[in-house]
Amino acid sequence: MHVFEHLRLNPERPQIRQIRRAVELLRQGHFVVVPTDTTYVLLCLPQAGDAIAGIRAFRRLDDHHMWSVVCADLSQAANCVRIDNVAHRILKRCLPGPYTFILPASSTLPRRIFGKRKDVGIRMPDHPVCQMLLEELGEVALATTLQLPGQDEPEYDPDEFVARIRHLSCGIIDAGWGGMVPTTVVDLCDGEPVLLREGAGEWPA
């Protein structure tokens, strides 16, 4: 059954009723478009096979696409990746914030999504809407940037992208214009941090 919901809310004072409805859609197996401190993202649960397939088809992603694991806090992150003392200090200093940190994956990550990958990107956005959603959800989610095939930049204006998504089974949390600069990506797998992509977060942080 096709489900589409356009949830408008105040980005600074999110209405809990709308947040809870978005969480309900996630738990029903749909994906939700969510604002973060960088760009809008497509968010779903790791076990939501139909939502993952829908995102892959919509964005034309192959099986090697690297999903980010989005967490509410470091305790959730520690269930997905291995965090040594050096990484822990960096994460504590930088998160929540506009960064994706690549860390060694734990055995709990679903292999049907991550395959034999030995590393995974962790995100903890500094955005009140996304933070409230993750706290209400109480578990990690998968995310990828809302960027249409053939486009060089992410979608930032809900008035534009809603019409391109409404044929899909999903929800949209509309908090106004989003950003266009992606996260800064830093690899923490081998001790010393390695900058892989310069984005919205300053580095060195």
Higher pLDDT, 111 or 91: 91
> Per DSSP, what are the bridge partners of residue 61?
none
Adjacent-strand bridge partners of 102: 121, 187
Cα–Cα distance between 38 and 47 in angstroms, integer? 25
Q: Is the pLDDT of residue 23 over 90?
A: yes
Give CA–CA dist 125/175, Å, rounded: 15
Between residues 106 and 191, the one the model is more confident about: 106
* Long-range contacts of the stretch 12-18 (C-beta < 8 A, 24+): 12/128, 13/128, 14/128, 14/129, 14/132, 14/175, 16/132, 16/136, 18/173
Distance CA 75, CA 186 (A): 20
pLDDT over threshold 80, residue 116: no
Decide which of 181 and 13 is more confident: 181
Angle at 70 between CA 89 and CA 191, to 5 degrees: 35
Q: What percent of the chain has pLDDT over 70?
A: 99
pLDDT band, very low/low/confident/very high, at 112 (cuts 50, 70, 90): low
pLDDT digits (tens, 9 = 90+) for 30-64: 999 999 999 999 999 999 999 999 999 999 998 88
* Among the ranges given (60-64, 73-77, 186-190), the one the predictor scored with the smallest mean pLDDT: 60-64
How much is the pLDDT for 63? 80
Confidence of residue 4 (pLDDT cuts 50, 70, 90): very high
What per-residue confidence (pLDDT) applies to 149? 87
**Is the link from the previous residue into 204 a cis peptide, with omega within 30 of 0?**
yes
- Which domains are assigned to the chain? 4-197 (3.90.870.10)
The pLDDT > 90 percentage for the chain reads 82
pLDDT bracket for residue 66 (50, 70, 90): confident
